[in-house]
């Protein structure tokens, strides 16, 4: 473990969970600092200056969302929140409050590492999320600068809104984008009252991009939360 390895603050009250997360992260080349309470989390965040936070929203001594706010305000680093299934509202609230991604308990290590990888890239500025970036997965390529989408080398025709939605997803490739964020991007704040617009457009996009729209591989649904465009094949977006 090198001094340069990224430092992850794991905020979780259950010791066994911390133990396996630490084990998994250390094997993957991260350094880990643990906090088992909201108080400890804010203290460690200030003292250790971690590069990334994995935050369980269900802490015994405080509201996870409040901790998230404190961390968000004090550190400009990626935060991945963890919560149980059935608490989609909490996840959405956390994502809209600035969390970068979420994990649903129970989660597997591959999932945890994928989230961390995506968040780290963005956090460390590896990802070129600017307008000149290119996203590429399976047989689909998206050139944000030239506004060109191809599938198996053939141009795919998108409407302006379809393109805006896809571009936002591509800028967060590998990470989740909430319904609210997508609706505002596509139709402005007024469209929050028309959530089915987004559903219709995502369905259209899938028909244009997916081999089998009923079993999407690129544009994944995160039930109750939003959508996730899979990571670009070459990691982040590249120029």
Partner 1 sequence: MGWAVGPIVVAAGVGLVLRPHLAPADLAMLMLLGVVVVAARNPRWIGVLGTVLAIVGYDLLFITPYYRFSVSDTAYLITFVVMLIVGLAIGHLTSLLREAAQHRAQRERIASTRLVLNERLGAVASADELAEVTAAVLTEATGASCRVCWVARGTTVEAVIDGLGQPRIDHGLRDGVLAILEGSLPHYLTVDGWLVHRIQEGERLWGVVTLDPGEPPRALLDQVPFLAAVLGQVGTILERRETAAAHEAVRVEVEAGRLRTALLSTVSHDLRTPLTTIEGSASTLLTGQDAIPQATRAALLEAIQDESRRMNRLIGNLLEMVRVETGALPVRRSWQPIEEVIGVALLRVEPRLAGRAVEVDLPEDLPLVAIDELLMEHVVTNILENAARHAPGETPIRISARATEESLEIRVRDHGPGLPDAVLAAGSSATVPRGRPIGPGAGHGLGLLICRGIVSVHGGTLTLANAPDGGAELTVRLPRGVAPDGPAHEEEVTA
Query: CB of 92 within 8 A of CB of 178?
Result: yes
φ, ψ for residue 120 (rounded to 5)?
Answer: -65, -45
Stretch that binds partner 1, among 23-31, 49-57, 125-133, 217-225 (CB under 8 A): 217-225
Token pair for residue 67? 């901790």
Supply the minimum distance, in Å, between the C-beta of residue 13 and partner 1.
Answer: 19
Restricting to residues 4-33, name those near partner 1 by CB under 8 A. none
Calpha distance 11→77 (Å, rounded):
15
Closest CA to 174 of 131, 114, 107: 114
Among 19, 43, 46, 106, binds partner 1 (CB under 8 A): 106
- Where residue 53 falls (left for φ over 0; alpha for ψ -120 to 50; beta otherwise) is beta
> Is residue 86 a contact residue for partner 1 (CB under 8 A)?
yes
Decide if residue 138 touches partner 1 (CB under 8 A): no
Site membership for partner 1, residue 161 (CB under 8 A): yes
CB of 182 vs partner 1, minimal distance in Å:
13
Question: Minimum CB separation from partner 1 for residue 93, in Å?
Answer: 14
| 120 versus 198: smaller Cβ distance to partner 1 | 198
Reduce the DSSP state of residue 138 to 3 states and report it: coil
> Closer to partner 1 at the Cβ: 43 or 195?
195
Structure tokens, 47: 């003292």
157 binds partner 1 (CB under 8 A): yes
In the list 163, 165, 178, 232, the residue contacting partner 1 (rule: CB under 8 A) is: 163
User: Is the peptide bond prior to 37 cis by the omega test (within 30 degrees of 0)?
Assistant: no
Residues whose CB is less than 8 angstroms from the CB of residue 121 and which lie 6 or more positions away in sequence, other chains included:
127, 235, 236
Task: Please state the closest distance from residue 206 (CB atom) to partner 1, in A.
Answer: 8
- For position 189 contacting partner 1 by CB under 8 A, the verdict is no
Q: Provide the minimum distance between the beta carbon of 153 and partner 1 in the complex, in angstroms, as a whole number.
A: 13
Does 154 bind partner 1 (CB under 8 A)? Our answer is no
Contact 231, 137 (CB under 8 A): yes
Q: Which of these, 60, 66, 62, 53, lies nearest to 21 by C-alpha position?
A: 53
Where does this chain bind partner 1 (CB under 8 A)? 85-86, 88, 106, 108, 147-149, 155-163, 187, 194-197, 199-203, 207, 212-216, 220-221, 223-224
């Amino acid at each position: 473990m090198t001094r340069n390895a990224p430092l992850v603050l794991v905020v979780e009250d259950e010791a066994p969970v911390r133990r396996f997360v630490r084990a998994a992260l250390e094997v993957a080349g991260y350094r880990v600092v643990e906090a088992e309470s909201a108080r400890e989390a804010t203290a460690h965040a200030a003292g250790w200056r971690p590069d990334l936070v994995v935050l369980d929203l269900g802490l015994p001594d405080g509201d996870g969302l409040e901790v998230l706010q404190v961390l968000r305000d004090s550190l400009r680093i990626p935060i991945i929140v963890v919560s149980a299934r059935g608490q989609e509202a909490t996840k959405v609230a956390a994502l809209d409050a600035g969390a970068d991604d979420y994990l649903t308990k129970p989660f597997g290590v591959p999932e945890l590492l994928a989230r961390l990888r995506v968040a780290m890239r963005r956090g460390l500025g590896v990802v070129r999320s600017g307008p000149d970036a290119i996203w590429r997965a399976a047989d689909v390529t998206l050139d944000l600068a030239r506004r060109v989408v191809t599938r198996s080398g053939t141009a795919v025709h998108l409407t302006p809104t379809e393109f805006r939605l896809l571009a936002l997803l591509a800028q967060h490739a590998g990470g989740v984008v909430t319904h609210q964020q997508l609706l505002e991007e596509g139709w402005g704040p007024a469209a929050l009252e028309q959530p089915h617009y987004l559903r219709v457009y995502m369905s259209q996009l899938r028909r244009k991009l997916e081999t089998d729209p009923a079993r999407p591989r690129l544009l994944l649904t995160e039930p109750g939360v939003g959508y996730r465009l899979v990571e670009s094949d070459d990691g982040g977006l590249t120029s």
